[in-house]
Structure 1
Amino acid sequence: MDGGNQSSISEFILLGLSNQPKQERLLFFLFLVMYLITVLWNMLIILAVRIDSHLHTPMYFFLSNLSLVDICFTTSTIPKMLVNHISGNKAISYSKCLTQVFFFSWFAGLDSIILASMAYDRYVAICAPLHYTTIMTPKVCVCLVAICWFWACIDALIHTFSLTRLSFCGHNKIPHFFCDLSVVIRLACSDTFLNDLMIYTVGGLTAVMPFIGILISYTRIFVAVLKIQSAHRKQKAFNTCGSHIAVVCLFYGTIIGVYFNPSSSHTAQKDTTSAVMYTVVTPMLNPFIYSLRNNDMKGALRMLFTRKLGLSL
């Protein structure tokens, strides 16, 4: 890093969600419970898909990857926040802040692209069922997921390295519970034009383009479903798509609202509320929305408990 651009600030202060002790204690237990639920249920989804051969299909392959990403995504922010609440020390070093930016950006990008991959999988299954097995082969699925991980990593590296060129020479208080990219950029005392440009261009490819792909996929799915004669099959297809669309709207809606709005429209409360939705609430709800309404997944989870944990359901 160029010496002239090197930050004179060695640490940042994460202000968190509240400065009231009673509220902080309540938030600590609330977020701890939500984090444990997120990790537990997503791990159960991964194990269930692994042990049940009936779930060795592209749809559940993508779902298990989404569960893994959701665990990593939540872990990139929540444990640090919980530690801050316990210790009472809200400081985070400059290097650790950049590390958090990298992993948060990486897994957020992965969530976005994998959601698009799942939409494409549903599009092929509904709109081209006779060619599904030849299009969505195991090799294609693995390659698609590998590309997702690689591209999201490159995106995160670009954003993180672009932060190292900024100078932070005064205000070091982050009105957030983690080092969020857009919030950290606004603390810089040097020109942030390039960083903002990266968010709108490189970040746009990772967030907006998959969203457009999802819209195109579901538009064609909707048209295809309307042509289905069987009311039962039509209702089943709409139920599957409805769950996915609900999560997509929740995830993309909050991210686009935070990162792709003019700077003048940002407020600390708005950014923090939106961040809680897509960093904590959405990863926690995903296994319930995608899996617990699915009879095959229910059967796999029942098998997991009875065979691996020795419990009777």
Structure 2
Amino acid sequence: MLVCVSHQDLSTMERENHTSASEFILLGLSSRPERQELIFGLFLVMYMVGAAGNLLIILAIGSDSHLHTPMYLFLSNLSLVDFCFISATVPKMLVNIQMRTQTISYSGCLTQIYFCVLLANMDNFLLTAMAYDRYVAICHPLHYSTMMSPRICALMLGSSWLIANFHSLLHTLLMARLEFCASNVIPYFFCDLVPLLQLSCSNTQLNQLMILLVGGLIVLIPFLGILFSYIHIVSAVLKVPSVRGKQKAFSTCGSHLTVVILFYGTITGVYLSPSSSHSAETDSLASVMYMVVTPTLNPFIYCLRNKDMKGALRKLLILKAST
């Protein structure tokens, strides 16, 4: 007996055998059960410290009118982004450890990708804005009020959020068109672009091209802006006759540059290197550095060593205690 199968029936059968994953498995940082409690405690402490530190910075800047300047405007936005950064991934990991599960839904995975790309871009742009603000303050102090006017600051922030949203939406939509029909195991503690692309059974050339081209430009242009700013800052500081003034300026630059190197180094290693050179352990460690450690340390590096911020935090705590 001959059985005739139409082209439409064949397409239906192919789709049934080519289904996409409805959820993914996040392996986390260690597969050993005895280490889960240690990881839970460590990340819970880092999350609480990072969240409290960043929220205190936002409240202190908002409550002190003396800190309503461009530099502290960028600092408050950086603290907001860092708070959202650690909140996008760490709570889900803590819940998974507590519930003894490793799954995340497909929609939840895409949501994490959207916010991780968005917030990483904003960190990138805010680091550049802060470097430019210091460049203008040190190299062009007489024109600071003009070059860093409220209109220009609002334009810088608005364009940063717009570009960051466009970039994250681009990668999320490109990822949503892919199908995952084989393994659904991600060797990270959150959903990220690179490991998901490696799991896809669709053609990922367009995704990889967008990561290298668009992502490369979004990382490279701000990085060159930071480099340009600090070359001029160092040149100006070297002309300062006071040794103490030089040490203070270089100390501030050193702290900022440490975070810049840490942020750009991990981002470049994870996203802008060939997929064949990726190691799951190395990428996972790098992701912890820029997703958790750096946002937790930023309040201490940028704000708590600042006399004005210390004064604003002291006033805020006294006010809260009195009420």
TM range (shorter): over 0.9
Which consecutive residues of structure 2, in runs of 5 or more, have no partner in the other structure?
Answer: 1-11
Provide the rounded CA distance (Å) in 2 between the counterparts of 1:7 and 1:227.
65
Unaligned runs of 5+ in 1: none
Q: CA separation in 1, counterparts of 2:73 and 2:220? A: 24
Give the counterpart of 2:178 among 145, 154, 166.
166
Taking every aligned residue pair, what percent have the same amino acid on both sides? 58
Q: Distance in 2 between matches of 1:60 and 1:166?
A: 42
* Residue from 66, 73, 77 that aligns with 2:89: 77
- The aligned residue for residue 197 of structure 1 is 209
Code of the aligned partner of 2:311: G
User: Offset of 1:69 from its aligned partner?
Assistant: 0.2
Kept in 2, the 8 Å contact 1:71–1:283? The answer is yes
Could you tell me whether the CA contact under 8 Å between 1:168 and 1:189 is conserved in 2? yes
* Residue in structure 2 matching 1:291, options 303, 316, 320: 303
Q: Tell me, what secondary structure is at the counterpart of 1:92?
A: strand
Structure 2 counterparts to residues 121-270 of structure 1, below 5 A = 121-270=133-282
Contact 1:7 1:166 in 2 (8 A): no
Could you list the structure 1 runs, at least 4 aligned residues long, displaced by more than 4 angstroms after superposition.
3-7
Structure 2 length normalisation: TM-score? Answer: 0.92
* 2:102 alignment partner in structure 1: 90
AA matched with 1:119 = A
RMSD: 1.6
Q: Deviations over 1:148-207 (max 9, x none)?
A: 111101000000111122121101000010001111111111211100011011112222
Q: Which has the larger radius of gyration?
A: 2
Q: Deviation digits for residues 270-295 of structure 1, max 9, x if unmatched?
A: 00000010111000100001111111
Deviation at 1:232, TM superposition (A): 2.9
Secondary structure at the aligned position of 1:13 is classed as: strand
Task: Give the counterpart of 2:72 among 56, 60, 79.
Answer: 60
Q: Residue type matched to 2:229 in 1?
A: S
Task: Give the equivalent residue in structure 1 for 2:112.
Answer: 100
CA distance in 2, matches of 1:121, 1:214: 10
For normalisation by structure 1, the TM-score amounts to 0.95
Deviation at 1:262, TM superposition (A): 1.5
Aligned to 1:17: 29
Describe the SS at the equivalent of 2:74: helix
Which residue type is aligned with residue 155 of structure 1? Answer: H
Question: Which whole-Å deviations, capped at 9, do the CAs of 1:10-30 have from their partners, x for residues lacking one?
Answer: 111011111111201110011
Q: Secondary structure at the match of 1:12?
A: strand
| 1:279 pairs with 2:285 | no
Secondary structure of the residue that 1:189 maps to in structure 2?
coil
| Residue 220 of structure 1, CA deviation | 1.3
In 2, Cα distance between equivalents of 1:8 and 1:51: 50
Q: What amino acid is aligned across from residue 309 of structure 1 in structure 2?
A: A
Q: Deviation of residue 236 (structure 1)?
A: 2.3
Task: Give distance in 2, aligned partners of 1:128 and 1:62.
Answer: 19
Alpha-carbon distance change, 140 to 179 in structure 1, aligned in 2, over 3 angstroms: same
Q: How many Å apart are 1:7 and its aligned residue?
A: 5.1
Matched residue SS, 2:251: helix
Query: Is 1:8–1:169's contact at 8 Å kept on the other side of the alignment?
Result: yes
Q: Which residue of 1 aligns with 2:43?
A: 31
Secondary structure at the aligned position of 2:183 is classed as: coil
Is the 1:225–1:237 Cα contact (8 Å) retained in structure 2?
yes
* Structure 1 CA distance for aligned equivalents of residues 295 and 91 of structure 2: 15
Does the aligned pair in 2 maintain the 1:13–1:172 contact within 8 Å? yes
- Supply the distance in 1 between the matched residues of 2:261 and 2:220 (Cα, whole angstroms): 12
1:122 and 1:19 map into 2 onto residues whose CA distance is: 45
